Amino acid sequence: MSGRERVFRTEAVILRRQDLGEADRLVVAYSPDRGKMRLVAKGARRPKSRKAGHLEPFMRAILLIARGRELDIITQAEAVETYPALRSDLQLVGQASYVVELLDRFTLDEGGSRSAYSLMLEALGRLAEGRPASAVLRYYELRLLELMGYRPEFFRCVQCLAEVRPEGQYFSPALGGVLCAGCGRGHPGARPLSLEALKVLRHFQRSGFEAAAAPEVRPTVRQEVEDHLEAYLTHLLERRLNSPRFLRQVQALEMRSDRASHPVGDRASSRLRTPEGHPAGDPEGEPAAAG
DSSP letter string over 11-49? EEEEEEEEEETTTEEEEEEEETTTEEEEEEETTTTSTT-
pLDDT digits (tens, 9 = 90+) for 223-256: 999 999 999 999 999 988 988 888 888 888 877 7
Bridge partners of 79, per DSSP, are 61
pLDDT number for residue 286:
36
138 exposed, middle or buried (CB, 10 Å; 0-12, 13-18, 19+)? Answer: buried
Closest CA to 82 of 51, 128, 113: 128
CA 68 to CA 86: how far, in whole Å? Answer: 33
pLDDT number for residue 252:
83
pLDDT digits (tens, 9 = 90+) for 136-187: 999 999 999 999 999 999 999 999 999 998 888 999 999 999 999 999 998 9
pLDDT at 216 over 60: yes
Reported as a pLDDT band with limits 50, 70 and 90, residue 289 is very low
Task: Name the DSSP class of 94.
Answer: H
pLDDT at 287 over 60: no
Q: How many CB atoms lie within 10 A of CB 132?
A: 14
Task: Name the DSSP class of 152.
Answer: P
pLDDT number for residue 120:
97
Angle between helices 195-206 and 219-237 (to 10 degrees): 70
Reported as a pLDDT band with limits 50, 70 and 90, residue 265 is very low
Mean pLDDT of the chain, nearest integer? 87
Closest CA to 227 of 185, 276, 194: 194
Q: Does residue 97 sit in helix, strand or coil?
A: helix
Look up the pTM and report it: 0.85
Angle between helices 114-128 and 90-106 (to 10 degrees): 170
